[in-house]
Amino acid sequence: MSGSADTTEEDHELIKRVADGDRFALERLYAKHHVRVFRFIRRFESNEATAEDLANDVFLDVWNQAAKFEGRSQVTSWFLSIARFKALSERRKRRNVVDPDDALSKMADPADDPEIVAQKSNKSEMLKMCIGALSEDHRVIVDLVYYHERSISEIAEILEIPQNTVKTRMFHARKNLSEIMKQNGVDRGWP
């Protein structure tokens, strides 16, 4: 765990340097965190080019707002909070809401012929589809917990909701994901 503490300290130091106008410090933060920010935004934004633009905008905001960062949270939590705001703002602008019923329609159907079943058999893709069938609130919670390894308190900060709400959403997300997987013949015990 000392590596994590070292990274946190390094990130806080880099933010201080960015606040002082150090472009190299911003480049270092970008190199370290861009992929994570981009992948998080992709949970909200299906268009890869738009997601890339939004990820870059996050770091532009970091450049412009570094002096306002108070250091009470991890730098990555701050980045993901900015990313979430940008992604949701973009979605509101376009009114492009993902329809969970559309995601469900792409899942395996017992009536599918063998060729279609084979195409849908990739376990990773099936899990993504099942997660995609969750409500947006539940998808984001699953993403932050399992893919970004955030704590309950960090998620509450990123999403700007109470910790108990995070816990409740996580409970329901797991329950719903289990039901969706069962409905689609995905065995939870798969290797």
- Rounded-to-integer distance, Cα 19 and Cα 69, Å: 9
- Rounded-to-integer distance, Cα 71 and Cα 75, Å: 7
pLDDT tens figures, 32-59: 999 999 999 988 888 889 999 999 999 9
pLDDT tens figures, 6-29: 678 899 999 999 999 999 999 999
Least confident range from 8-12, 94-98, 146-150, 157-161: namely: 94-98
Residue type, 50: T
Residue 129: what pLDDT? 81
- Rounded-to-integer distance, Cα 182 and Cα 159, Å: 29
Residue 109: what pLDDT? 54
